[in-house]
Amino acid sequence: MFAALYATVLAVPLVLTAPAAVPDISLENVKAHLSRLQSIATANGGDRAHGRPGYLASADYVKNLLDAAGYTTTLQPFTHYGATGYNLIADWPGGDPGDVLMVGAHLDSVTGSPGINDNGSGSAALLEVALEVARQGLRPNRHLRFAWWGAEELGLGGSRFYVGGLAAGELSKIGGYLNFDMIASPNAGYFVYDGDDSDRTGAGPGPAGSAELEQVLQSYFAGIGVPTQGSDFDGRSDYGPFIKAGVPAGGLFTGAEGIKTTAQAKLWGGTAGQPFDPCYHRSCDTTANISDIALDRNADAIAHAVWTLATAERPQPVWSDDFETATGWTANPDGTDTATTGKWERGDPQDTDYLGPKQLGTTPSGVNALVTGPLAGPDAGAHDIDGGVTTARSPEIALPAEGPLRLSLSWYLAHGGNATAADYFRVRVSGTTTATVVEQTGAATDRDAAWATATADLSAFAGQTVRVIVEAADADTPSLVEAAVDDITITRQGTPVLPLSPAAERVATPAPLGSESLPPLP
């Protein structure tokens, strides 16, 4: 019964391909950056912590190299816990400024530690990838933005400041954020942030698009024969403010103070029963506290993700309908519908409520939607679906011969506790064959209306002329059933990695915000 409450989207899994020119990131160069960060810490009281001279010296080191390589850099000041901190933001010229791929790592250490694994490792690898972008003269389709965050160790101070200071229009341009925090732990594991919540633990999935970011990173490790495990979006690093704002996120992690299990030692080597990083947040987190193998693999994985995502072809629109104007939909196209009320109409829906919203008066965009009886009437059941099935069919849509092709739409099905599994919402695509691509059945449980998104792979229909068929039914005992559809879009995908363009499918997903270390307030 629980599973019946969720839409089933029948789609072909994504197949990810990376450009052939992805470079091999020099381990020697990455380690040279780590040596420089170690020297900075040694010369500045043993750490590179927020508000201390070692942090600003670290930021200046990274900034000077990026400036020389042709980046536009900004040293963004902020105040956190009474001290001045800095984020370093670096933009690579080119790419679509309305579709930004952002890649980040925190640059600060805790007080009393050089912070070479945490997080010199992520910062140094990211720096070398950024410099390699410049050496290669990469010409991305998406705009590339790198970030080195301050005050992560004090509650994600820098990344919170950055995300919180973005205007809504600027935030919506960020199509994905990748985070690299501790990627060279000496007793390393290989963890990829669990964007789709396939591990079914902790905080749940990231915002729409996080699963695709996870797949891109997994594809690199699959290609070198290294198994990975999921890492929960628990809010302990700088992806936290991004996912809270609804930005798709992903990243890599080799473990902190957690203990490696026997099963993980068999999977990756190393020592079971010991921390992934025995020097986590300690003074011994020096250049001796890293795994060269893990650092090398993860640096190359970052490059793989940056090249794959930044150079992916942008999806091309094929057909769309936001229902603001009439485009030729036909109700009851085969003359077989049985519903007496609540038939599909294009219109401005009115709110109805019965133990919660059952028809929404707002739409994902514009004023109108395709809805089962848009009027409210004297009570919630006055214009809901009664008597069976109602159907609406789109005009003909000529699909290109080349794919992959993707359909996306906004939808909801709402019903009272008197519904049954015979009630449903369904989307079919009909060409030379017909396939159900989205289906949601009812259940004897109250379900409130809430707009959701669904996607499906239409590549099997490439080269055909098709129609989209939307159905809903109160098909058993009389019950309260409402449904709606909006913003149906078909696109021809390039490299199928990020979903459409940034804000199109974004719904903010709250996530716990924390830090690897949250010391008491001074």
For residue 513, the model assigns a pLDDT of 33
pTM metric for this prediction: 0.69
SS3 413: strand
Six-digit token pair at 97?
Answer: 């400024």
Nearest Cα to Cα of residue 127 among 23, 48, 33, 50? 33
Q: How far apart are CA 102 and CA 249, in angstroms?
A: 9
Return the percentage of the chain with pLDDT > 70, whole number.
91
Q: Mention every residue, 6+ apart, whose C-beta is less than 8 A from residue 259.
A: 273, 274, 275, 276
Q: How far apart are CA 458 and CA 467, in angstroms?
A: 12
Averaged pLDDT for residues 193-221: 88
**395 residue type, one letter:** P
Q: How far apart are CA 88 and CA 294, in angstroms?
A: 25
Kindly write down the DSSP assignment for every residue of 57-98, as one continuous string: HHHHHHHHHHHHHT-EEEEEEEEETTEEEEEEEEE-S-SEEE
Q: Say how many residues make up the chain.
A: 522
In the beta sheet, which residues pair with residue 187? Answer: none
Query: Is the pLDDT higher at 3 or at 455?
Result: 455
Averaged pLDDT for residues 231-254: 94
Q: Mention every residue, 6+ apart, whose C-beta is less than 8 A from residue 165.
A: none
Q: How far apart are CA 123 and CA 183, in angstroms?
A: 10
What is the CB neighbour count within 10 angstroms for residue 383?
24
Q: How far apart are CA 25 and CA 131, in angstroms?
A: 10
Dihedral angle computed from the Cα positions of residues 193, 199, 204 and 205, in that order, rounded to the nearest 10 degrees: 50
Q: What is the pLDDT of residues 464-488, one digit of tens each?
A: 999 999 999 999 888 999 999 999 9
HSE toward the beta carbon, residue 360, CA cutoff 13 A: 23
For residue 188, the model assigns a pLDDT of 98
Query: Is the pLDDT higher at 222 or at 211?
Result: 222
For residue 18, the model assigns a pLDDT of 45
Nearest Cα to Cα of residue 426 among 398, 404, 454? 454
Q: What is the pLDDT of residues 142-167, one digit of tens each?
A: 999 999 999 999 999 999 999 999 99
Q: What is the pLDDT of residues 266-317, one digit of tens each?
A: 999 999 999 999 999 999 999 999 999 999 999 999 999 999 999 987 778 9
Mean pLDDT lowest among 212-221, 343-352, 477-486, 491-500: 491-500
Nearest Cα to Cα of residue 151 among 55, 225, 45? 55
The conformation of residue 461, written as its DSSP 8-state character, comes to G
pLDDT classification of 494: cutoffs 50, 70, 90: low
Asked if 152 is an active-site residue, the reply is yes
Question: Which candidate in 152, 153, 471, 516 is catalytic?
Answer: 152
Q: Mention every residue, 6+ apart, whose C-beta is less than 8 A from residue 435.
A: 10, 428, 429, 460, 461
